[in-house]
Chains A and B, each alone.
Chain A
Amino acid sequence: MSAHLSYGRVNLNILREAARKDLREFLDKCAGSKAIVWDEYLTGPFGLIAQYSLLKEHEVEKMFTLKGGRLPPADVKNIIFFVRPRLELMDIIAENVISEDKMHSPRDFHILFVPRRSMLCEQRLKEQGVLGSFINIDEYILDLIPYDGDLLSMESEGAFRECYLENDQTSLYHTAKGLMTLQALYGTIPQIFGKGECARHVANMMLRMKREFAGSQTQILPVFDSLLLLDRNIDLLTPLATQLTYEGLIDEVYGITNGYVKLPPEKFAAQKKQGEASKDLPTEPKKMQLNSAEELYAEIRDKNFNGVGSALSKKAKIISAAFEERHNAKTVGEIKQFVSQLPHMQAARSSLANHTSIAELIKDITTSEAFFDNLTVEQEFMTGVDTDKVNTYIEDCIAQKDPLIKVLRLACMQSVCNNGLKQKVFDYYKREILQTYGYEHMLTLNNLEKTGLLKPQTSTRNNYPTIRKTLKLWMEDANEQNPNDISYVYSGYAPLSVRLAQVLARPGWRSIEEVLKMLPGPHFEERQQLPAGLHKKRQQGENRTTLVFFLGGVTYAEIAALRFLSQMEDGGTEYIIATTKLINGTSWIKSLMDRPEAQTL
């Protein structure tokens, strides 16, 4: 279930195991049969830590979703609420508890706060008069959740919005705490680099926390050589662009949540049971888990989509060749060996069938004219073509009332590539959007302006072209099949965030001081003292390990780019990626939207 977490450079399964241990300990604190009442938002992330089987082993018999009113009946001794520390959830819990008291069978109540308990929430429970009803009030420190062998996410949906729009740094505090947990398990990270206000804040908190825990240091040889903290707002452009890697496109088109994707079932109907005619088409979407545990997926996920087809057909040949082997198997030994490989081969074959279907689904979209037009405009913006004028494509999209998020993504992109739009253009877009999609979107536009995504030009100087040239953000003729540069993930555009990581590794940020000054927030370097005797002696040719933390979200394409750097022959650095949330342009813009629920007039 979790083996793929331990294959990477850093064994992230240690983190998962630590999290599982804490969970088991808490469950055992509540002796007897239990029912868990879930804050719905938590079920996804928890699924990555523990399956139902673990809960069952610890006498969890029922699971409910947290909602108002009376709790469903369950013949259990304990009711445990697994919740985020949010006031509105406290009110629901209080309602549950109060209505419970009227029934006769007494059940014990417990609360597990994820990821941290909060005085504010306990105060609210007290005000509601139910605080005393809880036997255990505990916290389950789940900050960084291992997603894959080289990927950690906090799955904190609103992190970007909170940090950059609402000035609420709660998620940064959790980030710092999470990094402390990580350091407790994997040793102190000797070097911290960062760029951006939030990065600075997190680094400060980490250094402070380290002082606070002075004396209780763990004697662990550091696994990470350095940590790179990056604010999302130093690179607003990348998430806006359409990702062109396989995994990125799956996310763009269908959306990946907590490692799962839901796909339209039609394509998968036939192969359900081979040979049998499927009687009726399944109507439930097909749910698939996507991670490196699946060999084929690990191979193709980070490829540019244009390279996926050939990879799949190559794989198909290998698999059918492997099945052909059976004709060559003559002796009993050979047959036995063939049979023993059969399950693996069958798994590979069904995996191939699945991904062929997915690739077909996606191909239908990428070959459409709309997709092509959209991409053309994106690339024009990224290369700086006519970013200071009203763009006809955007205009047409609005006129035809294309999805608002698509329009916003493009407009934001133009704004970012032009370092803000000319006031006239800016007002024009806004007016068009308000007239077409409704005046209520003024609040959303306001948010986008505040976060710097869609804003009027304040200085006459547009420094994006300088940044683009210095950091080589645009590479003509990017090789999509056999890439030699990270720009392949966007078929030409090299994500700025990853470029920064790349330059940091070699030749260092000193070479790009000018550009760094153009990006918002400070850049810095901190060193953390290691206890004597824990200094790592690097073997000749041994790679450095860098943890790159994206504050405010990261896209699959950026992850692919970092993985590409890890795999480069002479790269010298391997990357582990951590983030507050895995995002794409759509989910990102969505998180910034304000939609007042309008009463019908």
Chain B
Amino acid sequence: MAFITANWNPLGEAFYRKIDLYDMGWSLRDGFKDCMVAAAPYGGPIALLRQPQRPSPSARPQLEIYTSSGANMASFPWKSGPVQQLGWTVCDDLLVIQEDGTVLIYDLFGAFKRHFSMGNEVVQNQVMEAKVFHSPYGTGIAIVTGASRFTLATNIDDLKLRRLPEVPGLQGAPTCWAVLTQDRQTKVLLANGADLYILDNTSCTPVTPPGLSPQACSIVNIAVSFSYKYLALFTDSGHVWMGSSNLKDKLSEVETKVRSTPKQMVWCRRPRSQQPSVVIMWDRLFLVAGECQEIIQYTLDEECVCVAELDGVRIIGGSRHELLQEVPSACEDIFKIASMAPGALLLEAHKEYEKSSQKADEYLREIKEQSVLGEAVKQCVEAAGYEHEPETQKTLLRAASFGKCFLSNFPPEPFVSMCRDLRVLNAIRDYGVGIPLTHPQYKQMTMQVLIDRLVYRKLYPLAIEICRYLKTPEYQGVSRVLKHWACCKVQQKEEPDESIARAVSVKLGEAAGISYSEIAARAYECGRTELAIKLLEFEPRSGEQVPLLLKMKRSQLALSKAIESGDTDLVYTVVTYLKNEMNRGDFFMTLRNQPVALSLYRQFCKHQEQETLKDLFNQDDDHHELGNYYVKASYKESKLEARLSLLQSAVDEYNKAKNEFAAKATEDEMKLLRFQRRVDEEKGEALLGLSLHDTLHSLLSANYHKQAEQLYRDFRVPDKRYWWLKLTALSEKEDWEELEKFAKSKKSPIGYLPFVEVCVKRHNKYEAKKYVSKVTPEQKVKAHLAIGDLDGAAEAAIERRSEGEISTVLARCSPSTDRALLERLNRARSTAAKK
């Protein structure tokens, strides 16, 4: 396996290696000559802005976007203003910063998204230099203008421009500068000749890096590490100073013996780096300067660009794409020549095993004797993650799997998840996809983001495959991808609405938790309202459909969807919206076709807008409800005339509704009110507002029998009730004489038991007795009992031979009752029972 270390170069205690990622698929005739290049970290896309071959006023530069493997994604002539800088955002959007300070944003496929400006001041003074940087807050832009002033935007998605203070003595652009993020603050570090300044929101502070060699007259390049923790300065004396970015500690200083200004300088570190280094690039020369002051030198046969990564540096050239990194310790342990590390032994053991050699056993024993088999397996698994070649990965994983067989309780997760991760990584590193992520980068980036990136590249099938393979919950995985697919699909202008809608529904049919309303919203944004409506049909949540439908001015449909959802609050919302949008007539017509909405609106009006309620009923010719409306309104009036006039309106409406009963009743009510007023005025009573019944009662109590009689006739009060009324009124007054007259006036329609009862109620047994004889035979027993005449009751009951009645009498007997009576009753009962 010696060849694995063939590309290793020692640097201090550690090794550095260059891995071939791709032979670039593009065909650049002159390499990067006359090109502005920007490549995004995490194996992101590459943008090229190529100046026209023969400069002429009509010739335009060409903007091209490629994958990391050099496959073209977009290419178009640049028709906007002169470009100062290209850059990529954290979500793979291309930023083009023009000299006039305008920043244009394009997506991966070269579609224009939006633009913004870096401030009015810039328009005059022009951008001299610009840098794009990434921080936890997102993607930021820093520019320096012709007036030597810096302007910062920390997050382009939440644009807040900050103009930094003036730098004393700075004329034109600084020699070099970089953006730092420290203590949650973004600052600019700049060098003007030998002077170094830190520029923050409020001040410009001169700083001196500790131990910078005095020979230098000028700092010509600055590099900040990926994590913003470290800083490298290159001086015109050919020294590289390395230290912490807060400028408190110095790590090392290396003399390169090259004095010309480098083209690019970047840090090359990895997490838990043994030997961090700085990569410095000139036209033909490429140096890796380690902290140990040693240097690896490569020659370049073409113009290149370096991209700093979390765990190394990618070098992109016109024909090749390579990754330079410090060899991870697991790989070093295993592959270093003559290594006796557990992993190396295990790999050897497995190799022998494959050859069916007994040496396998020897090696294994050796590992087991040191009881490091677990560690050996771990090493192999880890190393597999760092290897780029699938063959090497497999070899290592097979060795790990072999070693695992001899371990009893080794946890399976690391092995399994590494296998899965590698499968995903190999798939996306594929030339066709062109995302050369390393394992640590993948872990840092997270699967979610990776899926997002694949989706953004429209690699939907791959994204879905990965989600399925990793068993991501449908919600976050497949469904999300499908939603993006659908959002993209709806933008295909050439396809007719019908077929897109069908395609979307067929694909998304079974996926859980798809938000069709989002897809529809996208279709609407693209001006495809009809398609949006079709798509909304698939949305199971009616509630979700409503806001978009309202936005699309499909208010009628919104209303029926709101109704369908059953959420009355939503219906109210649409109704309120309609009310403000439409003229009153149309609004009422709309409601008329939607009974549910109409009744809700009526409810609303009942509490909030009485007048509208009337209009609604009018519109529907609902005369009955209008009648009710007027009746209700009449009670709010404290003036009799007003009340009467409202009641008259009610009568009219009831008549129109052919509701004779209600009309008559209301007329009666008016008649009663008028009557009451008259009597009140004449006799000084307070009858107004009483019910007919109470009016009669009051009249009778006050001895206005004539008036009572009149009411009784006018309102055709049933005799029975009138008798009850008069009876009650007279007995309450204890006007026994009048009562007796009344009883004799004609045959009582309610019988005479009530007479007995009201007298008893008033504790007047004497009067009560007068009526007992008049009571019908059926009620005789009751009447006698009411006045406490047990003998009479017994007599009546026996006469009627009713078992029930006899029992009732018996129940009222007490121990003091006459014996003979009791016996008679009992005898009569048994006779009655026999029958």
Contact = CB atoms under 8 A, between A and B. Distances in A.
Interface of A: 85, 87-88, 116, 118-120, 123, 166-170, 172-173, 176, 201, 204-205, 208, 211-212, 214-216, 395-396, 398-401, 427, 430-432, 434-440, 442-443, 446, 594, 596-601
Contacts, number: 142
B824 interface: no
Contact of A596 (B576, B632, B669, B692): B632
Given A214-B540, A600-B638, A170 B568 contact: yes
Given A216-B475, A400-B724, A601 B688 contact: yes
A65 to B, nearest CB: 21
28 contacts: A87-B607, A88-B607, A119-B570, A119-B573, A123-B573, A168-B603, A169-B566, A169-B596, A170-B568, A172-B566, A173-B567, A204-B566, A208-B540, A208-B564, A395-B720, A396-B724, A399-B720, A399-B721, A401-B693, A437-B693, A439-B668, A442-B665, A442-B666, A446-B628, A599-B638, A601-B643, A601-B673, A601-B688
B731 interface: no
Given A214-B513, A596-B636, A399 B566 contact: no
Interface in B523-573: 540-542, 564-570, 572-573
A415 B475 CA distance: 56
A291 B639 CA distance: 51
B603 A166 contact: yes
A118 B479 contact: no
Contact of A435 (B602, B662, B693): B693
Given A120-B573, A168-B603, A442-B631, A600 B689 contact: yes
Contacts of A598: 635, 689
A166 B638 CA distance: 28
B643 A168 contact: no
Contacts of A170: 568-569
B632 A443 contact: yes
Q: Top 7 nearest A-B pairs by Cβ distance?
A: A215-B512, A167-B599, A399-B724, A596-B635, A438-B691, A599-B638, A439-B669
Contacts of A116: 569
B76 interface: no
A601 B691 contact: no
Nearest to A447: B628
Given A166-B599, A599-B637, A601-B689, A434 B572 contact: no
A443 B633 CA distance: 12
A66 to B, nearest CB: 17
Given A430-B661, A435-B721, A436-B692, 6 more contacts: A208-B565, A211-B540, A212-B540, A601-B639, A601-B673, A601-B689
Contacts of B572: 118-120
A437 B603 contact: no
Interface residues of B, number: 60
Contacts of B565: 208
B761 to A, nearest CB: 12
A443 B631 contact: yes
A120 B569 contact: yes
B608 interface: yes
Interface of B: 474-475, 479, 512-513, 540-542, 564-570, 572-573, 576, 595-596, 599-600, 602-604, 607-608, 628, 631-632, 635-640, 643, 661-662, 665-666, 668-669, 672-673, 688-693, 715, 717-718, 720-721, 724-725, 728, 750
Nearest to A437: B691
Contacts of B631: 440, 442-443, 596
Contacts of B568: 168-170, 173
Contacts of B564: 208
Contact of A212 (B541, B595, B599, B693): B541
Contacts of B542: 208
Nearest to B697: A401
Contacts of A119: 569-570, 572-573
A436 B717 CA distance: 10
Contacts of A440: 631, 635
Question: Chain A interface mostly helix, strand, loop or mixed?
Answer: helix
A173 B566 contact: yes
A210 B567 CA distance: 15
B114 to A, nearest CB: 30
Of B475, B479, B666, B691, which is in contact with the most chain A CB atoms at under 10 Å from its CB? B691
Contacts of B661: 427, 430-431
A439 B596 contact: no
Given A214-B513, A395-B720, A596-B632, A87 B573 contact: no
Contact of A439 (B475, B566, B569, B691): B691
B677 to A, nearest CB: 8
A168 B569 CA distance: 11
B464 to A, nearest CB: 16
A434 B721 CA distance: 13
Contact of A167 (B596, B668, B673, B690): B596
B576 A431 contact: no
A401 B725 CA distance: 9
A430 B639 CA distance: 27
Nearest to B569: A118
Contacts of B724: 396, 399-400
Contacts of B513: 214-216
Nearest to A118: B569
B628 A443 contact: yes
B540 A601 contact: no
The listed residue with most A CB atoms (<10 A of its CB), out of B512, B568, B573, B643, is: B568
Contacts of B479: 215
Contacts of A212: 540-541
Contacts of B474: 215
A204 B563 CA distance: 12
A118 B568 CA distance: 9
B693 A439 contact: no
Contacts of B669: 434, 439
Contact of B666 (A166, A439, A446): A439
| Residue with the greatest number of chain B CB neighbours at <10 A, chosen from A205, A438, A439, A600 | A439
Contacts of B715: 435
B725 A399 contact: yes
A398 B643 contact: no
Contacts of A596: 631-632, 635-636
A26 to B, nearest CB: 20
Contact of A87 (B602, B608, B717): B608
A116 B569 CA distance: 9
